[in-house]
Chain A
Amino acid sequence: MPPPAAPRSGDAIFSSVERVNAELFTLTYGAIVRQLLTDLEEVEEVNKQLDQMGYNIGIRLIDEFLAKSNVSRCVDFKETAEMIAKVGFKMFLGITASVTNWDVDGTCCSLVLEDNPLVNFVELPDSCQGLHYCNILSGIIRGALEMVSMKTEVTWLRDMLRGDDVFELQLKFLKQVPEEYPYKDDE
C-alpha cells in the first residue's frame, strides 16, 4: 500500500482549483438573502433558513475537503479548528482565519475573520439588525463537522456588519457522535 499522501496546504489547494470572481459569489449570496427576507419576512426565520442551507452545503462540502486536502483524522479539537481556519476557509473562499480564545478544556474557541467575501457591498438596514448575514458559514461548519462525527455549536460573537472590527465565530465542541454503520460488512 502506498504511504498516505501528506496533507496539502490551503494555499496549494486554492491555487490548483478552478476559481470564479468573488463578486459573482457575493452578489449571488446577496440575492439569496434578499429572497429569504421577502419570503420569510421574519429576520429570525431567515437566520434559521441560512443556517439550514449552510448545513446542507456542509454535509456535501466535507467530501470535497477530505478528497482534496489529504487530511486524515484530526487528533483533537484544536487540530480540527486549525484545519478549518487554515485549510478549509482558504480552499473554498481564499481567506484564512485565526484561531483564538481557547477555553481550558480545549473544547471551545473562536475563529476570527478579517476578510469575508460574503459581505462585500453589504450594509445592514435598520430593519435587519437582528440578521446574522453570514449565518450560512456557521451552518456549513456545523454540517461538515457532523459528517466527521463531531457535534458542535457555532455562534457569531462579532460581526463587521454590526460595526465590530472583525468577524468572530465561536466554535463549541459538544460531543463525539458514535459512528453508525448503515450496513454490516461481515455478514
Chain B
Amino acid sequence: MSKMMKGATSSPSPSGMYDVSKTKLKHQTLLQDYQKPQMVSLSAFAFLFSELVQYNQTQVDNIAELERRLEDAGYAVGARVLELFCHREKGNRRETRLLGILSFVHSTVWKVLFGKVADSLEKGTEHEDEYMISEKELLVNRFISIPKDMGTFNCGAFVAGIVRGVLDGAGFPAVVTAHFVPVEGQQRPRTTILIKFAEEVLRREARLG
C-alpha cells in the first residue's frame, strides 16, 4: 500500500489513458518546499499514533510482539523516508559510509520528521558495532504513560523501526531497539535508540578505510 512514487513514472489508468489527476497529486507532493513543509497539528498525529498502538495491542499477547509490530510499522515509514529524502535533499545520492548515514539519520531524518536534530549521537563504549541516538523527549513517547504491568514497553519501537528502515534501505542492516534511560533529577526518562550494525557492515567499513 501507500507506495512511494518514483520520479515521473505513472501507471496508466485502466482505459490506457494517462491519468492527469493522479499525476497532479504526485507532483504537488514531490515538489513540496522543504523549507516550508506542510504541517498538521501535533494532536492529529498523537490521536493517530495512539490508534496505531491500540490496534496493535489487540493483535498480540505479549510486549515483545507489540514492540515488534510497532517496529514493523516504523520500518515501512523509514524505507519511504530514505527514498524521499535522498531524492529531495541529497540530489538522489545516498550515503555509503557508516558515519555519513548515521549523521543523515541523526540530522536530516530527525530534522524533517521531528522538527529538530536528535539530542545526541554517540558511539557505544563497550562494543565497536553499537551506536546510540538519544532524545530527551521523543515525540511518540510524549503522550504515553506505560502501565506498570507492561514493564519495559517503549513506543520508541516505532522510531527504532524508522531508523532500521532507513539504514536497511541504504545498505546498512542493523538491529535497532528503543530503551528508556533514567535521567538524574528528571521525572521522565530519556529514550535511547540503540543501533547494532550487522557484521558485514563493519567489515565493509574497515575495508573502505
Contact = CB atoms under 8 A, between A and B. Distances in A.
Q: What's the interface size class on A, roughly?
A: 35 or more
A122 B29 CA distance: 10
B49 interface: yes
Contacts of B112: 21, 23
B58 to A, nearest CB: 10
A53 B55 contact: yes
Contacts, number: 148
A37 interface: yes
A20 to B, nearest CB: 5
B51 A123 contact: no
Contacts of B47: 57, 60-61
Interface stretch (A11-19, A74-82, A104-112, A171-179): A11-19
Given A21-B112, A160-B25, A31 B77 contact: yes
Contacts of B42: 17-20
Q: Per DSSP, are chain B's interface residues mostly helix, strand or loop, or mixed?
A: helix
Interface stretch (A1-9, A113-121, A148-156): A113-121
A57 B74 contact: no
Interface string A14-35: 1001111111110111111111
A41 interface: no
A27 B48 contact: no
B139 to A, nearest CB: 7
A23 B2 contact: no
Given A60-B47, A64-B43, A28 B1 contact: no
B29 A120 contact: yes
B1 A21 contact: no
B17 to A, nearest CB: 10
A1 B71 CA distance: 51
A108 B112 CA distance: 40
Given A53-B55, A56-B54, A163-B13, A32 B37 contact: no
Given A36-B55, A57-B51, 8 more contacts: A19-B39, A20-B41, A21-B38, A23-B37, A30-B80, A31-B73, A31-B77, A94-B38
Interface of B: 1-5, 11, 13, 19, 21-22, 25-26, 28-29, 37-45, 47-49, 51-52, 54-56, 59, 69, 72-74, 76-77, 80-81, 84, 112-115, 139
